[in-house]
Amino acid sequence: MTIAYPAHSPSLACDPRVWALLFAASLTTMANATIAPALTGLEAAYGDQPHAALLIRLLVPAPSLSIILFASMAGMAVDRHGRKRVLMLGLVLFVLAGPAGYFLEDLSLIFGSRLLLGVGVALIMTAQTTIVGDLFTGSRRATLNGLQISARNLGGLVFIALAGWLAGLSPHLPFLVYGLAILLLPLVALSLHDISSAHQREDGAAHRPHTDPQERDSESDHAGWFGQLLALATLQGFTSLCFFLMPTQLPFYLQDLGYDSGAMTGILLAVLMFFGGVAALWYGWLKRRVPYVIVFGSGYALMALGMGLMALDGGVWGLASGAASVGFGFALVMPNFVTLMLQLAPESHRGRASGILSTSIFLGQLLSPLASMPVIAAFGFQGAFGLFGVILALVAGIAFVQALRLSLPR
């Protein structure tokens, strides 16, 4: 499966394909967090069912488990059966499985619907990332990768706020938020097209957008790409593990500090997502001016600063500043992984590479509580945030040292 490249690419803002891809990206944040405000209400409604306490606490991370298990297979399906077909299948599963919790009365069936939702997200993430690699190159691709992170953050902010309001009316209503994805089906169906290789670039290379030198080098020589991809995925998994201290441990940390945990957690996570959404808008501009390693160093330095501010407990403003810094840094780092992956992987293996990268994100999320809880038990919440801040600062230092040693192309 290949995608034809237009001779004169429209601006990103005027390209309906871009909007379809950005709305698809926003669904990935919706998958896990949307029902979080309804958990206490669901516990009250289903508390008498077998294993209710465990199942309700697993409803939020359940899609992540499916993504870890199925993302690589989804990537192979993307390479074998076509990007658009897999993306459409993922959207259909999302629309069917997401709202199912509103109609189901058995908690085990609701949990099963959450697992199915994760399969849909795995298909959406891998297909959508691969399509970006097919359709765009150079600075336009880098800009779009940043916009995707922004869409995830700002979309998550909107969806979680809507779900929080609905949860106040009924713990079942937040499930209906997933049904909004049905509006995306016609946009994807009409704007994205799979083109057979026989019809690709009818006028030869003239139909391919100009590619910068870094892009051309990576496309002409993919030797050793898989080993480099695994190293990239490992770093991304570590980044996700560190970042997920915020949603998994922040409520308990705030409770330990004596704050109203529910209200403060909502405020700080909103700050985190807002500044992440804003920062990701700057990624394309920044990437055109500095090498990848400087972007990595800057992002990790901001994450380290944020973790340090969280550890210091400088009151509400100190905690909010820490959340903003973590969100800003994380949003600078994450598009780098996708941009590098799309340059490393040969076109015929982009789906597989996208699946591996998607797996690393959610594996880091699942491992985050397992890695942080022993540290918290040993050093307390402030010690844990401080230690992870030091580790992130070391990673930033390594990136800046590499920038001094190597003359990397932009």
pLDDT in tens, 345-363: 887 787 888 888 888 988 9
Question: Do residues 136 and 262 share a domain?
Answer: no
Do the domain assignments include residue 1? no
Question: Do residues 162 and 225 share a domain?
Answer: no
When pLDDT is averaged across residues 214-218 and rounded to a whole number, the result is 43
Question: Do residues 269 and 353 share a domain?
Answer: yes
Residues 62-98: pLDDT tens digits?
Answer: 888 888 888 888 888 888 888 888 999 999 999 999 9
Last residue of a domain, one of 136, 160, 195: 195
Last residue of a domain, one of 168, 195, 222: 195
pLDDT greater than 60 at residue 394: yes
Question: Do residues 99 and 130 share a domain?
Answer: yes
Do the domain assignments include residue 207? no
Last residue of a domain, one of 138, 162, 195: 195
Do the domain assignments include residue 200? no
pLDDT greater than 80 at residue 145: no
Q: Which residues have C-beta within 8 Å of that of residue 267, sequence separation ≥ 6?
A: 320
Single-letter residue type at 169: L
Confidence (pTM): 0.74
User: What is the band of 242 on the pLDDT scale with cuts at 50, 70, 90?
Assistant: very high
CATH number at residue 102: 1.20.1250.20
| Percent of residues, the chain, with pLDDT higher than 70 | 88
Do the domain assignments include residue 204? no
Do the domain assignments include residue 25? yes
> How many distinct structural domains can be found in the chain?
2
Question: Do residues 239 and 323 share a domain?
Answer: yes
What range does the domain containing 220 cover?
213-405
Question: Do residues 32 and 74 share a domain?
Answer: yes
Question: Do residues 170 and 287 share a domain?
Answer: no
Question: Do residues 67 and 121 share a domain?
Answer: yes
pLDDT greater than 70 at residue 8: no
- In angstroms, rounded to a whole number, what is the distance separating the alpha carbons of residues 90 and 111? 18
Give the three-class secondary structure for 263.
helix
- Are 229 and 341 in contact by the 8 Å Cβ rule? The answer is yes
- In angstroms, rounded to a whole number, what is the distance separating the alpha carbons of residues 71 and 77? 10
